[in-house]
Amino acid sequence: MTKIALDLGSNEFRSVRTDGQRLLARRVPAVYCVASDDLSNRRLLEQARIPFSQANGSLIVMGNAAHEFSMLMRCPVIPVVLEGHLPWEDPVGRQICSTLVESLIPPAETANSLCVLSEPASTSRSPQEQRGFIDEVISLRGYRSVIVNPATALCLSGLQDAEFTGVSLDVGAESIAISITQHGEPLFEGVFGQGFRVIENRFALSRHRYLWDQNGNRYLDLQSVRNWIRESKMNMTSPVSGDELWLVQQFRQLLIDAWASVLPDLLRLKGHALLNQRLPFVVSGGPTQLDGFSELIEHVIQNSRVPFRVSEARLSSLGPYSIARGLLVHAMLEQDVEAETPEIAA
């Protein structure tokens, strides 16, 4: 049985699959740009050898090529995932999403092939239509799909030495996923419907980071903000400038709000035997790679009313593939369970 993991993150889509003894990992930015379908734009794209497609009288450039096209044409890069959900209601958005997914997962070669995936977490929209859309895209590639919470997947990749037991938190662009697991089984799963993208937007607005397109329309220069955050040497425990201090305060408040949003449900676990011991804590997500982020999270937890104590907070060592690797572990465990389940005669 072919097994593949697909992490549908809000900034990137990522996949990990087995190929014999090898692991193959791929990722693509979950973004696109739109330009009018005229001769000059087509010639520019062809001369620059930028791949594009056509939809509703517009030219669509997606994935890695979108960033190159954005700089070339001075047009905004549009996220595929907005407000924590995939664009299942938008025909163009559906086409873009399907194309990006198809670039990451090859057609299944065997029957009953399995794709274990995480989906964008939305607290404001019903997940049923989104899951129906995802199932359709995956089934067209020949796979049966299983959806796993991204924070639970993080536990499977980041807490192996703790027997898949502890607390995991994934700080995404559009949401924050939280999970408490015992031997890989979730005791609690929650989601907070804001991520670090809201901080990028606030920073760009407050610092007047704007660009103008060919028609004179103004839009936020979010890429320069991301570049500054990624390339800076800031430490979240000791900011040295006003901008760094602002950023630390914003992330601290985001984490406080995330824990506060799930606290009522967490308190229902109070008294569970697992919570009587100190638990390892693993975190992943773009901003968690900043120096001092794990210490910031520990400080927020210590000053909250969460019903557990942390033995250590660690960053996932797998970088952008932390969730995808955990999804692949889930696929392997599910295959083992299926292999051990006896068939029942009719």
Q: Is 122's pLDDT higher than 70?
A: no
Q: What is the mean pLDDT of residues 134-152?
A: 94
Q: What is the mean pLDDT of residues 200-220?
A: 92
Q: Is 118's pLDDT higher than 90?
A: yes
User: Which has more pLDDT, 119 or 346?
Assistant: 119
Lookup result for tokens 């990137």: 12
Q: Is 16's pLDDT higher than 60?
A: yes
**Residue 12 forms beta bridges with which residues?**
29
Do 76 and 215 contact (CB within 8 A), yes or no?
A: no
Would you state the pLDDT for residue 62? 95
Lookup result for tokens 């890695």: 64
Q: Which of 338, 284, 51 is nearest to 297 (CA)?
A: 284
Identify the helix (H) or strand (E) that includes residue 285: none
Q: What is the mean pLDDT of residues 12-25?
A: 91
Would you state the pLDDT for residue 123? 47
Please state, in angstroms and rounded to a whole number, the distance separating the CA atoms of residues 17 and 28: 15
- Other CB atoms closer than 10 Å to residue 19's CB: what's the count? 9
Average pLDDT value for the chain: 90
Would you state the pLDDT for residue 128? 74
Q: Model confidence at 131, in pLDDT bands (50, 70, 90)? A: confident
Query: In order of start, what are the domains of the chain with their CATH numbers?
Result: 1-30+81-147+322-346 (3.30.420.40), 31-79 (no CATH), 155-315 (3.30.420.40)
Q: Which two tokens stand for residue 283?
A: 């975190």
Q: Which of 194, 170, 180 is nearest to 315 (CA)?
A: 170
Would you state the pLDDT for residue 127? 64
Highest-confidence segment of 73-82, 191-200, 226-235:
191-200
Q: Which two tokens stand for residue 287?
A: 């901003």
User: Which has more pLDDT, 281 or 342?
Assistant: 281
Q: Model confidence at 283, in pLDDT bands (50, 70, 90)? A: very high
Of the candidate ranges 132-136, 137-141, 245-249, 342-346, the one whose mean pLDDT is the lowest = 342-346
Q: 271-281: per-residue pLDDT in tens?
A: 899 999 999 99
Q: 99-109: per-residue pLDDT in tens?
A: 999 999 999 98
* pTM, full prediction: 0.91
Q: Model confidence at 346, in pLDDT bands (50, 70, 90)? A: very low
Q: Which residues are within 8 A (CB) of 295 and not within 5 positions of it... i.e. 6 or more apart?
A: 236, 237, 313
Share of the chain above pLDDT 90, in %: 73
